[in-house]
Amino acid sequence: MKDIDNAAQVRRQPLLPLGLGWALLGVIGFSGTVPAMRVAAPVLGPWFVALGRALIGGALAALILAWRRDRLPTLQQAARLVAIGVVFNVVFPGCVAIALQTVPAAHAAVIIGLAPASTAVSASLRTRTRLGAAQALGVLLGAVSVVAFAAVQSGGLRLERGDVLLLGAVSIVGAAYAEGGLLARADALGSGTRVTCWMLVLSLPTVTAAWLVLQPPLVAGTPAAWAGLAYQSTVSVLLASFAWYRGLASGDLARASQAQLVQPVLAVLWASWLLGEAIPASTALGAALVVAAAALAVRR
């Protein structure tokens, strides 16, 4: 009888931990962001895409909050949400969109693959926990792999402007991921949906001010470019973020961030399939090295 009970318990165990499963679902949505931006940004302009997706996503988020009749965050929570929103809605997409003017989507996806290591380091600093030796080694190897990959791709021991922008974006987005994961926990805002929606709504004044300052022109884009913007406005900034922050809120931030390990691989595949980009051996090797290093960085 005891053996039967044990067997039943084994059968009831999920294939993936709940937090990791939600995070993986979010990463699948995020993996299409770089290819979608690669299609939209050269046609519509980098700042039109970066700010436009935040304005559309913010308007949709406001409707969701009104429908849910959601309670207001505290002033301290609001300040943290504004900071996260500026990173996600202005700094990160702006850097990526500008970088994609000069680098292929697959190339950018490899560098952005360092995000799990950045998240693990930021979570460690934010929660005042110490990285293990394997984690620290993974972060170091990941950084070296990315810099070496970018240098080889540029044809010399130097980094292109696009590479510098992507490295800076990855460094700061890890801190935003960790902060958002902490806010999504039950003792804070309590859900990934609330974090995402309030982050978008509270950052609308900053995004609007940036739009008025930069004044990105409205151009006659192609259907593919508008589709790329629509994907980012609905999936990248809303639906994928709902799942991602729910995953981060379910437990260990570093463990849930393991889902990001598959993002560069998926993004490279999307770039090859949807954009027809040739994937050279150096890109495939770079992606493999970054994934391996990030796996060390997010080990428990």
253 vs 132, residue with greater confidence:
132
pLDDT of residue 62: 93
pLDDT of residue 259: 67
How far apart are alpha carbons 271 and 284 in whole angstroms? 12
pLDDT at 237 over 60: yes
Please provide the distance, in angstroms rounded to a whole number, between the alpha carbons at the two ends of the chain. 35
In percent, how much of the chain has pLDDT > 70?
73
pLDDT digits (tens, 9 = 90+) for 31-71: 888 889 888 888 888 889 989 999 999 999 999 999 988 88
pLDDT of residue 257: 61
Torsional sign, CA 22, 26, 29, 35: negative
How far apart are alpha carbons 151 and 159 in whole angstroms? 6
